[in-house]
Amino acid sequence: MRKWSKIIYSGNGWDMTVRELMFSIVIILIMLMGGFFISEKIASHNDEQNQEYYQAMQIDGNAELFQYGMRTDVGNAFVKGNLVAVDPVTDPGIGGVPAAYIKVEEQHYNRHMRQVAHTRTVNGKTQTYYTTEVYYSWDYYDSWESHSQTVSFLGVEFPYGKIQMPGSYLYDTIKQSSHVRYLYYVINTEYSGVIYANLKDNTIEDGTPFIQADTIDEAVDYMVSNGTAGLVIFWVVWVILIGAAVFGFCYFDNKWLED
């Protein structure tokens, strides 16, 4: 019994015994098996999705074929064309520059105070004391946004949001005073790229993805790589969970193992 209770590691406020090590190995094996089961499901789903991408119709800038596909319910298709804001919005803060989307964030420069911990040694003993630190930062105060109501793709008009717009970027920062500033985030009025859409019922699905790619092949590769990246992210998160589970098990007092 003693050999199983032997401490093989001690430090940072916790000990690990031989028995805890054995149980930790069991936990790792069980979670690895669970991980492989889940990853197989993810990989199988990715294979199905990839097959769908490879079999999808490809329309390279042909507006008539795009409209025909929607009328005749051809289904999934990669379509290359220009995404354009039909009725751009503007804001006087950035000189009336037209954009598909504008978000203005107002920030205020505020004074803050915080307690900072310090340590010192007195008569051989470590003591902790605190001092007050003053610092300043730009903090969120308010925000508002506007966007076009209609966009067109290959000459066909859709409500804004029917196609996922590219992400906004910081266009400019305007200081009103030393304590107030405005950050302007915009989406341009026109982008060239590829949509992956389900052409059906004379329209496309809400939230159809837009891929900024020069060719349809690049767009296909992008969609396929997303599935692969998802599998990699799963394993990274799963390994972290395994490590956390083993550490948590060993960190707590497991006297029940000695019964």
Is the same domain home to 104 and 169? yes
Angle at 72 between CA 70 and CA 77, to 5 degrees: 50
108 with 45, same domain?
no
Within-domain flag for 76: no
Same domain, 112 and 185: yes
Last residue of a domain, one of 199, 225, 241: 199
Question: Is the domain of 194 the same as that of 88?
Answer: yes
What is the count of structural domains for the chain?
Answer: 2
Tell whether 177 and 238 lie within a shared domain.
no
Q: Answer whether 84's CB lies under 8 Å from 151's CB.
A: yes
Task: Please indicate, yes or no, whether residues 156 and 224 belong to a single structural domain of this protein.
Answer: no
Same domain, 165 and 87: yes
Domain limits for position 161: 82-199
Give domain status of residue 160, yes or no. Answer: yes
Based on the domain organization, do 192 and 91 belong to the same domain? yes
Predicted local distance difference test score (pLDDT) of residue 135 = 95
Residue 89 lies in a domain: yes
Does residue 104 sit in the same domain as residue 155?
yes
Which residues, 6+ apart, have CB-to-CB distance to 59 below 8 Å? 65, 66, 69, 77, 78, 79, 80
Last residue of a domain, one of 199, 231, 250: 199
pLDDT score, position 184: 97
Q: Which residues in the chain show pLDDT less than 70?
A: 1-18, 251-259
pLDDT (tens digit, 9 = 90+) per residue, 172-194?
999 999 999 999 999 999 999 99
Query: What pLDDT does residue 100 have?
Result: 97
**Residue at 94 is within a domain:** yes
Question: According to the 3-state scheme, what is the secondary structure of 82-117?
Answer: EEEECCCECCHHHCCCCECEEEEEEEEEEEEEEEEE
Spatial separation of the C-alpha atoms in residues 24 and 28, rounded to whole Å: 6
The answer to whether residue 74 is domain-embedded is no
The residue among 199, 223, 250 that closes a domain is 199
Rounded-to-integer distance, Cα 18 and Cα 258, Å: 11
208 found inside a domain: no
> Are 100 and 39 in the same domain?
no
65 domain-assigned: no
Same domain assignment for residues 48 and 145: no
Task: Please report whether residue 205 resides in a domain.
Answer: no
- Token readout for 112 is 């803050």
Residues 6+ apart with CB under 8 A from 258: 1, 4, 5, 19
> Would you state the pLDDT for residue 27?
86
In this structure, the answer to whether residues 149 and 221 fall within a common structural domain is: no
- Residues contacting 233, CB < 8 A, separation 6+: none
